[in-house]
Amino acid sequence: MPDDEKDEFELQNEKIRARMDRIGRKIMIMSGKGGVGKTTVTVNLANELADMGCTVGVLDTDLHGPNVAKMFGVEGATLSSADGVSFLPVEVRPNLKVISLSFALEDQDAPVIWRGSMKMGAIRQFLGDCEWGDLDYLLIDTPPGTGDEQLTVCQAIPELTGTVIVTTPQDVAVLDARKSVNFSRKMGVAIIGVIENMSGLVCPHCGKEIPIFGKGGGRRMCSDMHVPFLGEIPMEMDLREAEDEGKDWSHVGASHPSRKALYDIANEINNGTACSTGRDTSFLGTPGCKPSACASCTANCPSRKK
C-alpha cells in the first residue's frame, strides 16, 4: 500500500476507534447459510433492546441484499449530513437508529456489483463516518458466510463484544453454522451464543407445532462445540408478515411464541446472563448492568466506559 493510502487507512482507523469508543456493546449477527433469519433476529433484538430503554444502532453490512430498512419500515429514507463529511443514521425511534446502503441507492432494484475491496471500503466508511453518538448497542447484520463483510467488521472493530450465530435446525444449516463458530474462534471474537430460528412451525389453525426443518439441531451443535445456546424461535406466519410490512413485532403480546423467544433472548443478552453454560461471561459486563449507566458505575467490569 503506498504511503499516502496507508496514512489515509490509519486516519480512518482512528475515526472508527473514536466512534466505537462511544458504543457499549458491539455485536455481529452472522450465519453460515442464507435466509435463516439473521436480519429478522437483528431487527427484533434491536426493537426489544430499545423497548428495554437501551439506545441501539443497527448497521446493515449486507450490501448486495440490504433488508434492514424494509423490516424497520424506513425504506425510502435517504442519508443526510450535518457537515457534508459525516452522515446521520436514519431514526426508526428516538433510541433506535439504522444505517444501510439501501438509503444511498436511487434504484432499489439495481444490483450492487462490488468486489471485496469496495465492500471493505463501504463498511469502513459506515463505521468511521456515521454519527452514531453514544449507544448502548450496535447490532451489525451481515450477509451469510464468513467472507469480506465479516472479516472487515472484525478487523475494523478489534474490541467487538461478540457474535450471535443464527441457524435453522436442519443438518445443512447447522453444518454451515459450525463454520461461523470456528470463524469467531479464529478471529478471537467471543461467541455470545447461537439462536435456532424457524424451530418448528406453529400451525395458525390448531396451534400445534410442525417441525418443518426439524428441531434441536442448533442446541445439539452448541453442546457438541461447547458454545452457549441462546434459544429457539419458532416459525410464525404473523412474524413474517410483520417483517414484510416493516411493523414492530416487539409490541405484540407474549401469546406469540416467536415474540416471547425474541424477548427472552434480548433480555438474556442485556442482563449479561447470556451463556448460561457456566462459561466466563465477563466480556458482556456486570450482570444487570446497562451500558448507558457505565459512566457512573463503580463495578470493575470490562465494558465500563473510561
Ligand X SMILES: Nc1ncnc2c1ncn2[C@@H]1O[C@H](COP(=O)(O)OP(=O)(O)OP(=O)(O)O)[C@@H](O)[C@H]1O
Residues in contact with ligand X by the rule CB under 6 A: 31, 34-40, 62, 65, 67, 143-144, 197-198, 233, 235-236, 239-240, 243, 258
Grid cell for residue 182: 470456528
**Is residue 44 within the footprint of Mg ion (CB under 5 A)?**
no
Give Cα separations from 279 to 252, 266, 270 (angstroms): 33, 19, 17
Q: Which residue is nearest to Mg ion (CB)?
A: 39
Site string for Mg ion, 96-135 (x = CB under 5 A): ----------------------------------------
**In whole angstroms, what separates CA 164 from the centre of its chain?**
7
Partner touching 45 among Mg ion, ligand X, none, CB below 5 to 8 Å by kind: none
Q: How many residues bind Mg ion (CB under 5 A)?
A: 2
Give Cα separations from 132 to 97, 111, 113, 232 (angstroms): 8, 27, 27, 31
What is the nearest approach in angstroms of Mg ion to the Cβ of residue 62? Answer: 5
Among 23, 29, 32, 39, binds Mg ion (CB under 5 A): 39
Phi, psi of 25 (to 5 degrees): -110, 130
- C-beta closer to ligand X: residue 29 or 275: 29
- C-beta closer to ligand X: residue 239 or 294: 239
Distance CA 159, CA 154 (A): 8
Grid cell for residue 144: 451469510
Distance CA 207, CA 123 (A): 42
What is the nearest approach in angstroms of Mg ion to the Cβ of residue 67? Answer: 5
Binding site for Mg ion (CB under 5 A): 38-39
